[in-house]
Structure 1
Amino acid sequence: MNRPHLILTDVHRHYGDGAKTVRVLEAANLTVASGELVALVAPSGAGKSTLLHLSGLLESPQSGEVEITGIKTSQLGDRGRTQLRRSTVGYVYQFHHLLPEFTALENVSMPQLIAGKSPEQAKGRSMELLDLLGIGQRASHRPAELSGGEQQRVAIARAAANHPKIILADEPTGNLDPETSDIVFAALAALIKDEGAAALIATHNHDLARRADRIVTLKGGLVIPHSL
């Protein structure tokens, strides 16, 4: 097994107090290794988004440990968590959230420029990713000039722009037709393998989930293996 980039150990997360407490995760455990794509399939309200937010350091557990690239995040303050998230986690949402006034190339370059790369470095990395995802010829087009599948592939390239060790995706093909979903998922899977990232992808699409390295679900606050 490759080196684990993401480890959740006995993670607990609940919301509210007293009788109104909603317990979402109870002693949840999960490990995702470099180059591994794990599909998260669970009913709405089971806690998929919570698990993704904890894995991406957007939320903190009440107890338990979230370890990213060997770093135990319970020992970090807010600034340390933010810095670690920015340097190691890429997030792909159901909606692409591209900046409409910028081209595909510029959208992918943006996070790299913010991270301190030169314009030349950012452009080179952006073209590399867009070519890998099969849309290099669309680099100069703005989002409104791209199809839904092309826009989502630009969003995937943007998430991978700074070489994240972990890629998290929340229904990345949820707004696409079946044929386009298949193309986008294949591109995402190829990128994950090529980059050696650890990926956790929440999806309702069982056909796509079967193409992951393994499938997990949430039941009773636990992360458990799942077969479709």
Structure 2
Amino acid sequence: MRLTGGTAGDVPVDIPRIPAQEAAERELSKPMYHENDPNLLQRGLNAFWDWIGRLFDSASGVTPGGVVGLVAVVVVVLAVIGALWWRLGTPHRSPSGTGGDALFDDGPRTAAEHREAAARHAAAGQWNQAVQERMRAIVRSLEERALLDPRPGRTADEAAAEAGRSMPAHADGLRSAARAFDDVTYGGRTADEPAYRRVEQLDTAVERTRPTLEPAAVSTAFTEAPR
């Protein structure tokens, strides 16, 4: 770097390039030159929106209809996601991780004890817990009647499917009750009194219903009958 001095002889002054660059950087690093610079958060947001803009520009170039077509695709995708979220609810699993999707998450209790617990929750307006306990009462009652084999880890859906084979008249009701149980237990849904009353009425109806032997069981019984 060459500077011309202000002396009478105007003798050029040579300054090495690297020291001159360092001096310029030191000068520009002074706070007075950066008072109006965006802060770290603003710079991050600006970089993010620049990236979004480049992404949209790239996507619109390969999407039929350009930007309008891309916006339409995004709207459709968001609508599908919203519909699935509304139908399935917010994922909500038990933090303990010990029970998984199992219907019973505590020690063994009788069907009568589950019904008493359901009645207490219903009296307190705790409809989620009331639905859970009434569904457990249905399954425990079927186990006590030897219509279901007691099996640890059985889910509400599995119990409903198995019980529906011996009680086809209540198969739909059992599936609906199992779905209500899953909704309030794992789906983040909130039950109300009509939902509980439906499970309660199903419990009473199942308790009064005699089971129907499956065709396979009837065939086996006739085949193995003594001659």
Whether TM exceeds 0.5 here: the answer is no
- Give the structure-2-normalised TM-score: 0.24
Q: Which has the higher strand share?
A: 1
Higher relative contact order, chain-length normalized (CA < 8 Å, sep 6+): 1
- Give the structure-1-normalised TM-score: 0.24
Which structure: larger Rg?
Answer: 2
